[in-house]
Amino acid sequence: MGEAGMTAERSPASASASASAPAPVLEVAGLARSFGAVRAVNGVSFQVRQGEVVSVIGPNGSGKTTTLNLLGGLLTPDSGEIRLHGRRIERLPAERRAELGIARTFQNGRVFASLPVADNVYVGQYAKLKRTRPFPRLRHLPVLRWLPLLAELLLALVQPPTVRREQSEAAARTETQLARFGTRLLPRADHRAHTLSYANRRRTEIARALALEPTLLLLDEPTAGMNQTETAEVLDQLLDLKAEGQTIVLVEHKIDLVMTVSDRVIVMDEGQAIAAGTPAEVRDDERVVEAYLGRRRAQREEASR
Ligand X SMILES: Nc1ncnc2c1ncn2[C@@H]1O[C@H](COP(=O)(O)OP(=O)(O)OP(=O)(O)O)[C@@H](O)[C@H]1O
Applying CB under 5 A, the residues found at the interface with Mg ion are 64-65, 107
What residues form DSSP beta bridges with 268? Answer: 273
Check: CB of residue 193 under 8 Å from CB of residue 116: yes
Judged by DSSP in three states, 91 sits in: coil
Of 64 and 264, which has the nearer Cβ to Mg ion?
Answer: 64
272 binds ligand X, rule: CB under 6 A:
no
Residues 148 and 138: beta-carbon distance below 8 Å:
yes
Nearer to Mg ion, 107 or 278 (CB): 107
Are 4 and 234 spatial neighbours (Cβ–Cβ below 8 Å)?
no
Phi, psi dihedral angles at 276 (to 5 degrees): -155, 145
Residue 61 binding ligand X, by CB under 6 A = yes
Which one of the spans 64-72, 116-124, 158-166, 202-210 is the region binding ligand X (CB under 6 A)? 64-72
Give the integer Cα–Cα distance in Å for 135 and 129: 11
**Interaction between residue 146 and ligand X (CB under 6 A):** no
Contact 103, 177 (CB under 8 A): no
The residue range among 54-62, 127-135, 195-203, 255-263 that interacts with ligand X, by the rule CB under 6 A, is 54-62
Pick what 63 binds: ligand X, Mg ion, none; C-beta below 5 to 8 Å, kind-dependent. Answer: ligand X
Amino acid identity for residue 225 in this structure: G
CA–CA distances in Å: residue 204 to residues 102, 110, 120, 178, 215: 17, 9, 7, 8, 19
- Please choose, from the candidates 212, 208, 199, 262, the residue with its C-alpha nearest in 3D space to the C-alpha of residue 56: 262
Minimal distance, residue 56 CB to ligand X, in Å: 8
7/62 with CB nearer ligand X: 62
Q: CB-wise, 62 or 177, nearer to ligand X?
A: 62
Question: Which of 29, 40, 118, 207 forms a contact with ligand X (CB under 6 A)?
Answer: 40
Give me the least distance between CB of 168 and ligand X, in Å please.
39
Distances (CA, A) of 137 to 95, 148, 270: 12, 9, 39
Contact 44, 67 (CB under 8 A): yes
- φ/ψ of 104, rounded to 5, equals -145, 160
Min. distance of Cβ 238 from Mg ion in angstroms?
Answer: 18
6 in contact with ligand X (CB under 6 A): no
Is residue 62 a contact residue for ligand X (CB under 6 A)? yes
In the complex, minimum distance from the CB of residue 69 to Mg ion, in angstroms, rounded to a whole number: 9
User: What is the full DSSP assignment across 151-171?
Assistant: HHHHHHHH--HHHHHHHHHHH
Tell me how many residues contact ligand X (CB under 6 A): 12
The yes or no reply on residue 177 touching ligand X (CB under 6 A) is no
Q: Is 85 left (phi over 0), alpha (psi -120 to 50) or beta?
A: left
CB of 20 to ligand X, least distance (A): 34
CB of 206 to Mg ion, least distance (A): 17
The interface partner of residue 33, options being ligand X, Mg ion, none and the CB cut-off 5 to 8 Å by kind, is none
- Binding segment for ligand X (CB under 6 A), chosen from 56-64, 79-87, 228-236, 286-294, is 56-64
Give contact residues for ligand X (rule: CB under 6 A): 35, 38, 40, 58, 60-66, 107
